[in-house]
Amino acid sequence: MTTIVVTGRGAAAWMAAAWFAHRGGGVTVVEDGPAAMTALATRSSFTDFNRAMGIEVVGTPRLGTLYSGWRRDYFHPLGSYGEDWDGVGFHHYWLRLQAGDPGRFSLETQAAKAGRFGEGLTHGHHVDVVQWIASVRCRFPDIEIAGHAQGDLHIDAREPEVTTWTEGPDAALYTTITKQPDGWSWRAPMGDYTLCGQTTARPTFTPWQGKTVTLPRLEPFGDLGLHLIQTAIERLGEVMPGPIRPSIVDRYNADMAETWNALSDFIGLRTGDISDRLKSRLDMFALAGHIPVPHHEIFTEADWFAHLSGLGYIPRAWHPIAGLASETDLRLRLARLRTRIDEQVAAL
């Protein structure tokens, strides 16, 4: 049996430990590194990740993220925008009419603004990490905890340090991230209190070398970092537990490098760090509203559109098929869509 040692105190360490314990490996957690975050902002994929292991995720519902302090405040919903028509993404029709705030065509955005929630909404949670780790340990009692351990594979899941504090209750159904001179701060409603924090951590990615895999390090609270860590664990789980072979290491490193590049570009939209890859993507969007989403990416077309539109990137043209319908017909479609969303929100 392959033995796996995971180093870290927080959610990343226990996500890795749970995943490999579920797959039959012998797992030891060495609790080392900065103190663990006490809360997480998750996507629905985190719920799916846990459900696959028989762990229930409990927390306050989360419909997206409000970004404040950039060109203008904007909301990134966890759901989609509108409907695709004739095989063309909704944002092309929105672009053609310049139809105001795109959030008017997002059910999750409107529900978040109204403070309404229902199980039919695409959502994640604000999760109490201490309670979640307790659930993991209850589900996998054979995971050992030690001050030092040796294994066939070492997973370094230590998280960057972050400053946190608590404030009074907030009923918001979303996370708030605010731009700061160096980094960003965030607020997460946890029910009877609000967890706040600030980080200047810079993302780092270290390839798998020898017997050690270092999980990607992003700021430890936000859903982007959590989503990336989950992806790394799942891809590592495709080849482990088992013998460590060069071909396995190369495959993991290649897959994660592509994923890391996509995430770096996604963050680069907000930080202004425009790589050649991101410039190419922005050029394609500017020319005809095209949002390329390669198969390895962890972000959807809707994720990209939320940030592109929120940061003021407006294309000069749109998909030709979006130009075939009459303007009158298209405006009627959008009006009906807005009405349906309003009715759905009112019914929550």
Q: Which CATH number belongs to the domain containing residue 303 in this structure? A: 3.50.50.60
Residue with tokens 């972000």: 299
163 is a domain residue: yes
Q: What is the pTM of this model?
A: 0.91
Q: Average pLDDT over the chain, rounded to whole?
A: 90
**What was the pLDDT predicted at 218?**
66
Q: If pLDDT is split at 50, 70 and 90, which confidence band does 201 have?
A: low
Q: If pLDDT is split at 50, 70 and 90, which confidence band does 278 have?
A: very high
Mean pLDDT of 233-239: 86
pLDDT reading at 311 higher than 50: yes
Nearest Cα to Cα of residue 145 among 18, 6, 1: 6
Q: Are 275 and 236 in contact (CB under 8 A)?
A: no
Who has greater pLDDT, 179 or 243? 179
pLDDT reading at 111 higher than 50: yes
Query: What values do phi and psi take at 305, rounded to 5?
Result: -65, -40
pLDDT reading at 197 higher than 80: yes
113 is a domain residue: no
Mean pLDDT of 198-223: 77
SS3 312: coil
276 is a domain residue: yes
Mean pLDDT of 74-87: 94
Judged by average pLDDT, the poorest of 22-26, 269-273, 293-297 is: 293-297
Strand partners, 41: 126
Judged by average pLDDT, the poorest of 56-60, 79-83, 246-250, 261-265 is: 261-265
**What was the pLDDT predicted at 330?**
93
**What was the pLDDT predicted at 220?**
45
pLDDT reading at 171 higher than 80: yes
Q: If pLDDT is split at 50, 70 and 90, which confidence band does 286 have?
A: very high
**What stretches of the chain show up as alpha helix (H) in DSSP?**
11-22, 44-51, 90-97, 107-114, 129-139, 223-237, 246-271, 276-288, 301-310, 327-347
pLDDT reading at 172 higher than 50: yes
348 is a domain residue: no
334 is a domain residue: no
Who has greater pLDDT, 288 or 159? 288
346 is a domain residue: no
What is the tally of structural domains in the chain?
Answer: 1
Q: Are 337 and 108 in contact (CB under 8 A)?
A: no
Tokens of 69: 């302090």
**What was the pLDDT predicted at 178?**
93
pLDDT reading at 221 higher than 70: no
Judged by average pLDDT, the poorest of 73-82, 101-110, 238-247 is: 238-247
Mean pLDDT of 84-104: 91
Range of the domain at 296: 3-79+122-317
Mean pLDDT of 79-104: 92
117 is a domain residue: no
Tokens of 176: 């708030």
347 is a domain residue: no
